[in-house]
């Protein structure tokens, strides 16, 4: 099933963020664009957290999401956060290890993890959510160095599979590593 976005319009007060925006997502996709062009707003509409002022969105299944912020339960470990949304504990631990988590990191509550570790945990929470038919990933490479970005991109490619995925990033290298179709978004400007 594909996600179809038609003639989307979203305003915040007098500021128009999206205007007559249409998109079809059939499998994985990368969206790139400058700050303020409405990428995060688009993802929040797809997540059902914002309502569009005009236009329609269809085909979004249960969502696995990486938000702009990590949004991990601070008292739970990285694996605990993944299990919370339905992930398999053994699988969670193995994938966390593959992304650089050691025994000590696995035992820590997420509040005590570094920014990059929290980001990786948030990313795996989305990818390992078994019910998620749609993946919406907002800047998932934030706080990662080049080596980790390459590893994370490989993990995303492998675990996302053929699910409808919208990944927002401003990192051209990461987009190239993913090798997915890229859509450029441009900021809306009143003429």
Partner 1 sequence: MVVWQLAAMALGHGGLFLSTPVQTLQALAVQFPTAQFWHRIAFSALRILAGFVLALVGGLVLGAAGARWHTVRVLLGPPMQLIRAMPVASFVILALLWVSSANLSVVVSFTHVLPVIYAGVMGGIADTDPQLLEMARVYRLPLSKRLRYIWLPGVFPSLSESCIAAMGMCWKSGVSAEVIGLPDHSVGDALYRAKITLSTPDVFAWTLVIVLLSALLSAVAARGLRWLKTRLCGEVKAP
Footprint of partner 1 on this chain (CB under 8 A)? Answer: 47-49, 62-65, 67, 69, 71, 73-77, 80, 83-86, 88-89, 129, 131
Smallest distance from partner 1 to CB 89, Å: 4
Nearer to partner 1 by C-beta: 76 or 98?
76
8 A C-beta contact, residue 165 and residue 183: no
Distances (CA, A) of 4 to 84, 108, 130, 150, 167: 30, 41, 23, 30, 16
Tokens (6 digits) for 67: 């938000």
Smallest distance from partner 1 to CB 159, Å: 16
Nearer to partner 1 by C-beta: 33 or 86?
86
Distance CA 102, CA 107 (A): 9
The residues with which 183 forms a beta bridge, in sequence order, are 31
Nearer to partner 1 by C-beta: 93 or 171?
93
Smallest distance from partner 1 to CB 66, Å: 10
Smallest distance from partner 1 to CB 69, Å: 6
Distances (CA, A) of 45 to 52, 100, 136: 7, 33, 11
Nearer to partner 1 by C-beta: 36 or 89?
89
User: How many Å is the Cα radius of gyration of the chain?
Assistant: 17
């Amino acid at each position: 099933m594909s996600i179809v976005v038609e003639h989307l319009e979203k305003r915040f007060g007098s500021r128009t963020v999206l205007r007559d925006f249409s998109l079809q997502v059939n499998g994985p996709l990368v969206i790139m664009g400058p700050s303020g062009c409405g990428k995060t707003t688009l993802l929040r509409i797809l997540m059902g957290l914002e309502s569009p002022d005009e236009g329609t969105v269809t085909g979004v299944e249960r969502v696995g999401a990486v938000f702009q912020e990590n949004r991990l339960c601070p008292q739970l470990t990285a694996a605990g956060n993944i299990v919370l949304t339905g992930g398999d504990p053994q699988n969670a631990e193995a994938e966390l290890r593959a992304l650089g988590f050691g025994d000590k990191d696995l035992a820590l509550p997420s509040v005590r993890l570094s920014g990059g570790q929290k980001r990786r945990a948030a990313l795996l929470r989305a990818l390992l959510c078994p019910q998620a038919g749609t993946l919406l990933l907002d800047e998932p490479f934030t706080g990662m160095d080049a080596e980790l970005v390459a590893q994370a991109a490989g993990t995303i490619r492998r675990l996302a599979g053929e699910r409808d995925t919208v990944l927002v990033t401003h990192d051209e290298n990461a987009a190239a590593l993913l090798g997915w179709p890229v859509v450029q978004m441009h900021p809306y400007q009143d003429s």
